[in-house]
A and B are shown apart, each in its own frame.
Chain A
Amino acid sequence: MKCGVKFCGGCNPHYQRGDAFRRIQADMPEIEFEYAEEGTDYDHLLVIGGCTACCPIIDQYTVNGDVLKMWSEDHVDIIEEKLEEKLK
C-alpha cells in the first residue's frame, strides 16, 4: 500500500510532526510512505498538520482511497488504527 505524506508548513506546530510521522512509519513498515508529489497515484494520503487548522491544500494530489488527517500527537494511535484497517 502506497501512502502519500503531506506536512503543513510548520509555522507554529504544537508537537513534533516529524517525530510523529517517524513513529507511524516505524510502527507500520508494511506501508510504503513517501512525500506526496503531484502526478503520482497514492492509495491513501496522510496529512500531518501542526495545529487544529490542519491547513495544507491537497487538491493537487491523486488519491484513490482516503485522506487521513492528524493535527495532534494524540492522533498517532488513531491514524495507525485506520491504516491497519486499510491493510486488511
Chain B
Amino acid sequence: MLMTGEQYIESLRKLNTRVYMFGEKVDNWVDHPIIRPSINCVKVTYDLAQDPEYKDLMTVKSNLTGETVNRFAHLHQSTEDLKNKVKMQRLCGQKTGSCFQRCVGMDAFNAMFSSTYEIDKKYGTNYHENFKNFLIQVQQNDWVVDGAMTDPKGDRGLAPHAQRDKDLFVRIKERREDGIVVCGAKCHQTGSINSHWHIVMPTQAMREEDADYAVAFACPSDADGMYMVYGRQSCDTRKLEEGADIDLGNAQFGGQEALVVFDDVFIPNEYIFLAGEYEFAGMVVERFAGYHRQSYGGCKVGVGDVLIGAAALAAEYNGAQKASHVKDKLIEMTHLNETLYCCGIACSTEGYPTEAGNYQIDLLLANVCKQNITRFPYEIVRLAEDIAGGLMVTMPSQKDFDSDLAVGRNGETIGEICNKFYAAAPSCTTEQRMRVLRLIENLCLGAAAVGYRTESMHGAGSPQAQRIMIQRQGNIEGKKALAKAIAGIKE
C-alpha cells in the first residue's frame, strides 16, 4: 500500500535507529534541524506518488504482486520502465534541488534480483526466493531501502582478507544454522538514516581468499548492533541558527550521508542473498553500479534544471539578462545538462532483459553517462557562479538585512544599509536577490554541493571505475577491424 508523505515521516518515528552526530546520540533525529531537510526530500517521493499530475511516473504496477507500487520499489520490466526511472529522477531533482536518496534502494533491488537468480542457478541456493520475498515486503509496506555498497577499504593496495583490520570490509564473522553474524561498516551511505531497511552488497569483485567478504543481505535500520554516524556537509550548522531561512539557500530540502556500522549484527537465513559465492560479487557490483550510473542521468539533470533557473534569475535580478554572453552561458549550461539527460535516456533505451526477467541498462552507455556526470556539473557550476557574481559568497547574513541596529550618521540601520547597497534591478526585491544567490551558493559550494558536485564525481564509482568499464565494453578489436576493412589492410 502506498504511504503518504506524512505517513512516511510517522513510520520513521517508530524505528529505534541509533544516530550519532557531533559526538552525541541524537534521540529525536526525525525533527533534528540538520537531518530534517533530507527527510523532507524523501517525503517528496511519497507526495508526488499521490499527486495526479505526477503519479503516471511515480507509480507502476508491480510484476510481483499486481498492486500499484512506488516506482522506487519496482523491478524494471521493459526499456520503457528504464526510461521512466530516469524521467522520475529528473522530476524529483527538479522538485527538491537535492539528492532525494531513494534511488540507491531501487538500483540495489534490480541488481540483486537478477544476480541472485544466476547464483541460485549455479549453486542451487535459495537467494532469489529470499530476495523476492523481501522485495514483496518492501513494496507492500512502501519502505525506503538503502543500497549499501561502499566499504571503508583501508589500504587500497590490499585485498579484504589482507587488511590489518579485518573489519574494513563488511564480512561474515560467524556462520550459524539459522543465519550469519556480520561486522564492518559502509561509508557515505546516502539516505541511510531515512531508510526503513538496508540492502548490503559487496563493494568489489572478490577472490576465494575473500569468500567471507562476498556477502549480501537485508536488515532493518534498527537491527541490534547497527548504528550510524552522520556525515558533515558544508555550511551544515547554518541550519542550527535561530530563524534560519534565506541563508540556507534551500531551507526545505537537503541530502544525507552517514557511516553505517555493523557491530556483530545477526542476519537470519531468509534475508541472506549472497554468502561466500565470491565469484558473483563482481556481478552484483557491476549491475548495481550500472543502474546507479544510469540514475545520475536523471537526478543530476533535475538539480541542474534548478541551478540553470537560478542562474537565469540571478542574471535578471542583476539586470544583465540581455547581455549576449549571459544568454550564451545559459545556453551552454542547458546544452551540458541535456547531454547528460541524453545519456540517461540512451542507456535505458538500449536496455535488455536479464535471465531473471527484469531489465538491465546498456553498460557502456551508462558508464559514458556517469563519466560525463563527473565533468559537466562542474562546468555548469562554474558558469552559474560566473553569472551570479561574487555576491553569492560575500553577501551579509539574513540577520544583517533584518537588523534594526542604527549605525549610520542619520540613524540608518544595518538592514537599511544592506538593502540600500544590495538593491539591483527594479524587477526584484533585495530579499529575492538574496534568496536566489543563496540558492546558487547552496548548490555550488554549500550543503547541496555534496550531492551536485562531489557526489557527481565519486557517487556510483569514481571516474576511473567508469573508464575501466568503458575500456572493457568499448570493443576496440571491432573498431580495429572496421579500420582495416576501410584501409584495405589484409592479413
Chain B interface category by residue count = 10 to 19
32-74 of chain B: CB within 8 A of chain A: 52-58
For A16, the closest partner residue in chain B by CB is B53
CA distance A9 to B54 in the complex (A): 4
What 0/1 pattern do residues 1 to 27 of A give for CB contact below 8 A with B? 000011111111000011000000000
The verdict on A65 contacting chain B, using a C-beta distance below 8 Å, is no
Report if A5-B52 is in contact (Cβ < 8 Å); known contacts: A10-B57, A12-B305.
yes
The verdict on B94 contacting chain A, using a C-beta distance below 8 Å, is yes
The smallest beta-carbon distance between B80 and chain A, in angstroms, is: 9
Are B52 and A35 in contact, CB atoms less than 8 angstroms apart? yes
The smallest beta-carbon distance between B15 and chain A, in angstroms, is: 30
CA distance A20 to B379 in the complex (A): 35
Report if A7-B87 is in contact (Cβ < 8 Å); known contacts: A12-B94, A12-B305.
no
Residues from chain A with a CB closer than 8 A to the CB of B57 are 8-11
Excluding A8-B57, A9-B55, A9-B87, 5 further A-B contacts by CB distance (< 8 Å) are A5-B52, A9-B58, A9-B84, A9-B88, A10-B53
For B56, the closest partner residue in chain A by CB is A9
The smallest beta-carbon distance between A72 and chain B, in angstroms, is: 16
The verdict on B306 contacting chain A, using a C-beta distance below 8 Å, is no
Residues from chain B with a CB closer than 8 A to the CB of A35 are 52
Query: How many residues from A make CB contacts under 8 Å with B?
Result: 12
CA distance A56 to B84 in the complex (A): 11
Are B56 and A7 in contact, CB atoms less than 8 angstroms apart? yes
Residues from chain B with a CB closer than 8 A to the CB of A56 are 56
Are A10 and B54 in contact, CB atoms less than 8 angstroms apart? yes
5-57 of chain A: CB within 8 A of chain B: 5-12, 17-18, 35, 56
The smallest beta-carbon distance between B216 and chain A, in angstroms, is: 31
The smallest beta-carbon distance between B60 and chain A, in angstroms, is: 10
Residues from chain B with a CB closer than 8 A to the CB of A5 are 52
The verdict on B91 contacting chain A, using a C-beta distance below 8 Å, is yes
Q: 30 A-B contacts, Cβ less than 8 Å apart?
A: A5-B52, A7-B53, A7-B54, A7-B55, A7-B56, A8-B56, A8-B57, A9-B54, A9-B55, A9-B56, A9-B57, A9-B58, A9-B84, A9-B88, A9-B91, A10-B53, A10-B54, A10-B57, A10-B91, A11-B57, A11-B88, A11-B90, A11-B91, A12-B90, A12-B91, A12-B94, A12-B305, A18-B53, A35-B52, A56-B56
Closest 6 CB pairs of A and B: A9-B57, A11-B87, A9-B56, A35-B52, A7-B53, A11-B91
What 0/1 pattern do residues 70 to 102 of B give for CB contact below 8 A with A? 000000000000001001101100100000000
